[in-house]
Structure 1
Amino acid sequence: MSDDNEPGHGNSPAAWVAVVVMLIGFTAGTFAFWFDQPLFVWISGGVVVVGLLLGIVLAKLGYGVKGPRYVPKNHS
């Protein structure tokens, strides 16, 4: 049932780093909003944008799914 043309579903270092950084930003922003701290809400929004840019940069550096530095793991 394996397809050799499968893109990997974003299971790469670039994707993991981007998602983790953005999750931290969303979580911090939620708490900042809850505690009525508008400055920290905006800072958290910036962290989310940084996470997105970090994922793009890492993918361009070869850590994306089809990058030369990414080594897929065999799932058996």
Structure 2
Amino acid sequence: MAGSSHGHGHTPAAWTGVIIAFIGFCVAGAFMVMANVPGFWVGMAIIALGGIVGGAMRAAGMGQNKRPQREVRRSEA
């Protein structure tokens, strides 16, 4: 399992969501240093927008497919 790769976040939806959230983090951080409260909250809104955009892209089929659940077999003792 440690060496296996199941596309861990390597999708357009994941990359887009993370990039938007990173930009929001930078905006919020810059405005926090400048002590500009409204600008800080704009950055926080951009971070939330990253999650929304990533989720919407995943719903549109640009995200990772869900892996089927493994069936758990109980041994009879």
What is the TM-score when the length of structure 1 is the normalising length? 0.78
Rg: which structure is higher?
Answer: 2
Deviation at 1:38, TM superposition (A): 0.4
Report the CA distance between 1:12 and its aligned residue.
Answer: 0.2
Alpha-carbon separation, structure 2, partners of 1:7 and 1:23: 24
| AA matched with 1:44 | G
1:71 corresponds to: none
Q: Deviations over 1:8-61 (max 9, x none)?
A: 111000000000000000011000000111000001100000100100000000
1:49-64 equivalence runs, <5 A:
49-64=48-63
Aligned letter for 2:48?
A: V
For structure 2, the 5+ residue unaligned runs are 67-77
- Looking at structure 2, the residues matched to 63 and 31 of structure 1 have their Cα atoms a distance apart, in angstroms, of 31
Q: Give the 4+ runs in structure 1 shifted more than 3 A.
A: none
RMSD: 1.8
Over the matched positions of the two proteins, sequence identity in percent amounts to: 25
Following superposition, the deviation at residue 66 of structure 1 comes to 1.9
Equivalent residue, structure 2, for 1:42: 41
